[in-house]
Amino acid sequence: MAFVATDAIRGRFSAAMSEMYRAEVPQYGTLLKLVADGNSAVLARDPALADTLRRNGEVERLAGERHGAIRLGTDAELALIRRAFAVMGMHPVGYYDLAAAGVPVHSTAFRPIEQAALTANPFRIFTSLLRLELIEDARLRAEAAAILDARRILTPGALELIERAEREGGLDVAAAIDFVDELLETFRWHDTATVSAESYDRLLDAHRLIADVVSFRGPHINHLTPRTLDIDAVQAAMPAHGITPKDKIEGPPRRACPVLLRQTSFKALDERIVFLSLSGHSVPGRHSARFGEVEQRGVALTRKGRALYDEILAAQPERDRFAELPDDWTDLRRQGLAFFRYSGRAVRRADLEAAIDSGDIVADPILYEDFLPVSAAGIFQSNLGDAARGAYAARSSREEFEAALGTPLFDEFALYEAAEARSLAAVTL
């Protein structure tokens, strides 16, 4: 039997998700055009950057590159979503504790991990798991748990196709098409809540995110994010296109040599929803959760580089300490602060630097494919209206998250280290 490549299934799903979200949130379509026009302008005025992106296959992936975000309510839902994403070649990478920043979740990112798969389609889903134990009211906590335990986030058809892919090792063309259609239903927006208005208000008082997770039939996609090459230009252009951006861009400051991840978004939509009363009558209400986001990705920092970045963030105030992180590709590489991919003719290891200086070997920055917990929390807070909330006292546990997931998380640093090592081995004797 001929199976469809996981990259192809992921590509189809990513495109379908984008079309669905564009129909649900028209401003997202405006954002896509704004980003596409801006990327074309950057490539036209910066031939060196365009050459680097082409050499690494990034120009082709720009148009289709996006990430989404979902929020799950139970361990069982997390384990089920892992199986669904595995059908598309998406694996859990990294661990993010957002409770420390006042958001009652811990998270991972499902994404491709091989370079060829990332080049084919780098679609990612930032996936958060609600920490019910952080709801202080015991009665409300029990009510939320009962609501979540009763819901089923996958259609019977999606579950059947996941089991088929696991049993047979893949999906044929017809089954892959059906799988995408079925899985899409998990993330579709439904404007009818599964709780009463009174329950919703109690959940809302506990935390807006808790209300968003518990009050609906499934983990609707709460944002999709295209990749821009100039996030400052997009941020400045949003208001002229009828989009109100958040007050500031999350992540590192603007640099000649971008690092890690910068993100901005437009404000969450205030949407009409319907509650069902105990008598069966419809009760009108409002809910805010879904928004649009833009990201700009830079080089992945090494463990040493990330330690320096985190130290800079922790400084009070930050002042100009970002100057301590070199804004020069050569310095970042030679100081072991960022990851690079090497290409060119093979040389002796001792001659590597001379070969780079002469142009016989090219060292290109390895793109950061992951996320930043502080930035993610900043985006969540600005759209949930909980910016003033302090950190939760109870810290999250990677081990507990992995137990719920049913598999170990991939370490993002190990993935970047392996990619750099492979490229270095290919050009040195």
pLDDT tens, residue by residue, 48-60: 899 888 888 888 8
Question: What is the pLDDT confidence band of residue 387, given thresholds at 50, 70 and 90?
Answer: very low
Greater model confidence, 368 or 29 = 368
In a domain, residue 325? The reply is no
Average pLDDT over residues 379-386: 55
Average pLDDT over residues 101-127: 92
Cα dihedral sign for 19, 175, 410, 384?
A: positive
Contact 271, 286 (CB under 8 A): yes
Determine what percent of the chain is predicted with pLDDT higher than 90: 60
386 SS3 class: coil
Question: What is the pLDDT confidence band of residue 393, given thresholds at 50, 70 and 90?
Answer: low
In a domain, residue 369? The reply is yes
Task: Give 164's contacts (C-beta < 8 A, 6+ positions apart).
Answer: 171, 175
Distance (Å, whole) CA 429 – CA 410 = 30
Average pLDDT over residues 15-36: 90
Is the pLDDT at 382 greater than 90? The verdict is no
Determine what percent of the chain is predicted with pLDDT higher than 70: 93
Cα separation values, 254 from 53, 106, 229, Å: 19, 28, 11
In a domain, residue 327? The reply is no
Question: What is the pLDDT confidence band of residue 389, given thresholds at 50, 70 and 90?
Answer: low
Domain limits for position 26: 6-300+339-427
Q: What is the CATH number of the domain that holds 417?
A: 3.10.180.80
In a domain, residue 358? The reply is yes
In a domain, residue 41? The reply is yes
Burial of 147 (0-12, 13-18, 19+ CB in 10 A): middle
| Predicted local confidence at residue 81, as pLDDT | 97
Count of H-run helices and E-run strands, the chain: 18, 11
| Predicted local confidence at residue 385, as pLDDT | 55
Pairing of strands 261-265, 223-226: unpaired
In a domain, residue 310? The reply is no
Burial of 92 (0-12, 13-18, 19+ CB in 10 A): buried
User: How many Å is the Cα radius of gyration of the chain?
Assistant: 22
Average pLDDT over residues 2-8: 95
At position 327, the amino acid (one-letter code) is D
Burial of 272 (0-12, 13-18, 19+ CB in 10 A): exposed
Burial of 163 (0-12, 13-18, 19+ CB in 10 A): exposed
Q: Domain tally for the chain?
A: 1
Contact 282, 196 (CB under 8 A): no
Q: Return the minimum-mean-pLDDT range out of 61-70, 130-139, 284-293, 300-309.
A: 284-293
Distance (Å, whole) CA 76 – CA 394 = 22
Is the pLDDT at 381 greater than 70? The verdict is no
Pure H helices in 169-261 = 173-184, 197-206, 208-214, 231-237
Distance (Å, whole) CA 325 – CA 118 = 27
Of 265, 192, 293, 220, the C-alpha closest to 72 is 220
Cα dihedral sign for 31, 35, 41, 45?
A: positive
| Predicted local confidence at residue 99, as pLDDT | 81
Contact 346, 425 (CB under 8 A): no
The H or E element containing residue 296 is strand 293-297
In a domain, residue 326? The reply is no
Contact 110, 117 (CB under 8 A): no
| Predicted local confidence at residue 391, as pLDDT | 60
Contact 229, 258 (CB under 8 A): no
Contact 264, 246 (CB under 8 A): yes
Q: For residue range 231-243, what is the model confidence (pLDDT) as tens digits?
A: 999 999 989 988 8
| Predicted local confidence at residue 388, as pLDDT | 43
Distance (Å, whole) CA 192 – CA 205 = 20
Q: For residue range 182-214, what is the model confidence (pLDDT) as tens digits?
A: 999 999 998 889 888 888 899 988 888 888 999
| Predicted local confidence at residue 333, as pLDDT | 97
In a domain, residue 332? The reply is no
> DSSP secondary structure string, 103-149?
-SEEEEEEE--SHHHHHH---EEEEEEE-GGG---HHHHHHHHHHHH
Contact 124, 109 (CB under 8 A): yes
